[in-house]
Amino acid sequence: MSQLLVNERDVVIPGETLAEGLDYLPGENAYRENDKIYSKVLGLANVAGRVLKITPLSGPYILKIGDKIIGKVIDITMSGWRVDTNTAYSAILNVKDASSRYIRKEEDLSKIIAIGDYVVVKVVNVTSQNLIDVSMREPGLYKITGGRIVNINSQKVPRVIGKQGSMVTLIKDKTGCEITVGQNGLVWIKGTPEGEFKAEQAVKLVEEKAHLEGLTDRVEKFLGGN
């Protein structure tokens, strides 16, 4: 007889028993030992039919192919740039992936993207050893100029974006700022100084209250005073 021991959206801790019996299956961040299923991280329980998943409440960003991230250029190599991804691993941005324009062999790469510049890039490849290739050759990927960078926990990024981008659109509309959210937890905000400040605070508020319900109303109330 199988038994479910947690409810949907319960906070569970590592090693907590989620279910007994063989009718349930361990999903992401859960594992089975004998006839019990345990959690592997601190997070919210998620019951999808017979599969038990845990949505982490905190934790490092795990690089995924196709993610749009914001990185900082930390070095220039023979064939491209080395980009800090705000994780334990840095990525390579190859010359041929950097621009749609042809870059000649003898060109000075630091004239195109200098060390210390931030770039919005897309992850095109991740190996088992977490060697990363990124690309900037798509619409919506560019070198960042001006504005400010805010660092938040990458697990909170989905809440900052909201359903179909509702949260980020709300903050954009209310503050008049341009906002780009990288999946790795870096957020770029550009606008008037007051708007940037307000938007930064709103993003921080979302990060802090991410696990609570009624987040949109809270943010709307916070920004309402504009």
Q: Give residues in contact with another protein (CB under 8 A).
A: 11, 13-17, 29, 31, 38, 40-43, 56-60, 62, 87-90, 128-130, 155, 211-213
DSSP 3-state of 221? helix
Select 11 or 115, whichever has its Cβ closest to another protein.
11
Select 60 or 176, whichever has its Cβ closest to another protein.
60
Q: How far apart are CA 145 and CA 160, in angstroms?
A: 22
Q: How far apart are CA 66 and CA 149, in angstroms?
A: 22
Please count the other Cβ atoms lying within 10 Å of the Cβ belonging to residue 105.
5
Q: How far is the CB of 20 from another protein (least distance, A)?
A: 13
Provide the β-strand partners of residue 187.
150, 181
Select 89 or 197, whichever has its Cβ closest to another protein.
89
Q: How far is the CB of 51 from another protein (least distance, A)?
A: 18
Select 54 or 98, whichever has its Cβ closest to another protein.
54
Select 68 or 204, whichever has its Cβ closest to another protein.
204
Q: How far apart are CA 145 and CA 217, in angstroms?
A: 32
Phi, psi for residue 165 in degrees, rounded to 5: 75, 20
Q: How far is the CB of 201 from another protein (least distance, A)?
A: 16
Q: How far is the CB of 103 from another protein (least distance, A)?
A: 29
Q: Dump strand ranges (E) for the chain.
A: 3-4, 11-12, 17-20, 25-26, 30-33, 36-39, 43-48, 51-56, 68-76, 80-84, 90-94, 118-126, 132-135, 148-151, 178-181, 186-190
Q: How far is the CB of 40 from another protein (least distance, A)?
A: 5
Q: How far is the CB of 59 from another protein (least distance, A)?
A: 2
Select 103 or 115, whichever has its Cβ closest to another protein.
115
Name the DSSP letter for residue 65.
Answer: T
